[in-house]
Structure 1
Amino acid sequence: MASNGASTVNPSSSSPPPFVEQGVRDATENSLEKIKRQLASGSGRNLLQGPLLKRSETLRKWNERWVILDPTTGKMEYKTRRNEPSIKGIITFDENSVISMSPVNFHGLPKYDGCCFYIGTPQKKDYFLCAETPGAARAWVSTLHATQLVLKAHKEAVNSLSGNGSAKLGTVATVVAAANSTAKECSKEIEAAMQVSLRNVLGLVANRPTDGPMDDFTVMKETLRVKDEELQNLARDLRARDSTIREIADKLSETAEAAESAASAAHAMDEHRRIACEEIERLTKDSEKQREAFVLKLRESEERLGFLSKERDQLIKQRDSAMQEAHTWRNELAKARERVVILEAAVLRAEEKVRVAETDAEARIKEAEQKEAAAVKEKQDLLAYVNALQAHLQRFDLLYF
């Protein structure tokens, strides 16, 4: 009961003042927007691209696809052919996805031993891919791992600017540069694999039977056509790589600007944190004073409660004694009621006797009155007779004397 009158005050749980939160929000808003623009600006750039065999999910059939890796979003877009304008599908992965070389040859042909790799996405969707050579497969896996590090660095940078972690913007530039270097080295493996595939195709064309004899000019023409297409592909790859390098340089400059903004935001946050600490200290002192006042009130309440408890015990004892006395009086009242009933019965019997006696007395009174009337009449008759006798005696005396 004593705990109902006091409230607990926790100084550490008091939130910073609204102006502190507004200052922190304004300080990190610009840097966060820069990082978001940096993430969005690179969604159309390609870090690595090349041919891969992809196993379909329904028919388990291997189809040749031209795969394009986007490092800023963690997506792998694939087309039916390289020059196809539309995208056939997207493979999405993040820093927590499972990407590894497969010791099992999913394809089945002996030439693809060591060329298969596996991607397990966050959506619990598995992808089985196969490159032309084991080196190309390892190149794809290495580039995907580097892309995962880039995604992780971008996520940590955004979280740090949002107030969810420590500032790690400097690592973004390092990881992006490392991913670029990895992609550059892996592109050589992809190009080598493409050359191997091209030589295999040329070998098949050279060994293909023709309707007529093929002269040296036709063979040279076909070879020059294939080489020209290969050179065009390499030129496009070089242009794409140069564009990627320029884009990464722009990203590095933007990351540096974001780091400077984050540093200024950190200074502002330190100032706001100092103000918040002073405010928390003041609130702590106020809460301590309030706690002491509450403790005094609690002690007074406990003393008052003890006094009231004693009074309650006394009142309970008085109530018990009063209830016992009332019970005794109830018993006495019940006995008195029994005696009253008995006395009422006796009174009724006495009244009945009185009525009988009154009736008998009335009858006797009437009889006595009648006797008295008869006696009076008899007395009158006797008086008249005596008077008559006296008159006779007088006459007799007069006659004889």
Structure 2
Amino acid sequence: MRVVSRSGDRLAYYSDLFQIPKELIEDANPDIHEGVLPEGLDVEIPGFILQKETRLDIDLAAIALQYQLPIDALLMVNHVEQRPFSVPVRIMEPLLVTEKLYDYQSLHDDLEILSFHYPFIKVESIGLSVLGKELFEVRIGKGDKVIHYNGSFHANEWITSAVLMKWLNDLLLSVTNGSSLCGMDCLPFYRDVTISMVPMVNPDGVDLVLKGAVAAEEKVDVLKINNDNPAFYAWKANIRGVDLNNQYPANWEIEKKRKVPKAPAPRDFPGETCLSEPEAVAMKELAERRNFERVLALHTQGKEFYWGYEGHEPEQAANIAKEFEERSGYRAVQYVDSHAGYKDWFIQEFKRVGFTIELGKGINPLPLSHMPTIYEDSVKILMAGLYM
């Protein structure tokens, strides 16, 4: 919601007036500095929408009483002679519908919705997919400790993108309304941690799974790669048939030698060289640029998570894994016979904590009917990742 400053106003006054933490208003207006404001500045108030009061025979005092608002909150968005009046209404329910076939357009639209209503979040393109789709990173928070989450490395695991976006929406509701999430107040996390999130690493592949060969835009012969099968539900790779989670320089040569597909395929082909794909490169460069404290990569399925790699994981990883296991009921697995994944490379490169979390149980792609249960379990891990 946007208001226009009056001479003598302060951001701290807007915080009191609308009961929104002052740092959220400051971060939503990075070009406005604390102090007495001049008249006529546009000021964003996060977590509110303007709603029209359709009754023309009501005055501001009556509206203030009905909506439990200070009169001045109404004066900020109305002229006394104006009809109909606008009413600042606090956003108390999720803005996003994530229980749907969650494609790239859904992500794009939902990020626009959240950025508009919660302008203290930062959305940045970190690179482009093979077909030129932007790879979006979302950041929320202002702490020095940066914790990273990602989803949809694998195309038919697109439900992980929906889980992350639902969690992001819930986090935003919590910090703006002072409500708890999994029994925890989220505002301290906002102050102490920066959450980095790439909800959809493989947008081309996700669209291929959900929309079919038309998603390839005639730039890649995906039908040939898929053995002329027009159904792409089993496709894990990017649009060029390269498994993005087999692309990293963590014993990549072992995966290259032993993987059965020796050419582009719906799954498991690690590429002709490591880091051959732009999506994989963008994620590597992001980790190097942001200096992540830890990484949580969401996949499906198995209701388990992997937390070690070749003994490079730090000692505290075991304690965090135990906490995740106790909170979610997911099984903690230290080592698996797998290499060249994003989590593997991160642990090897930085000697920090990394997880591959296999959400849900069944056959990929998991059905949307599993979404509520998957979220109920996984949100406990996502939240625990912030404080452990």
Structure 2 length-normalised TM: 0.22
Which structure has the larger Rg over C-alpha atoms? 1
Instruction: Select the structure that is richer in helix.
Output: 1
Higher RCO (CA-CA < 8 Å; seq separation 6+): 1
Structure 1 length-normalised TM: 0.22
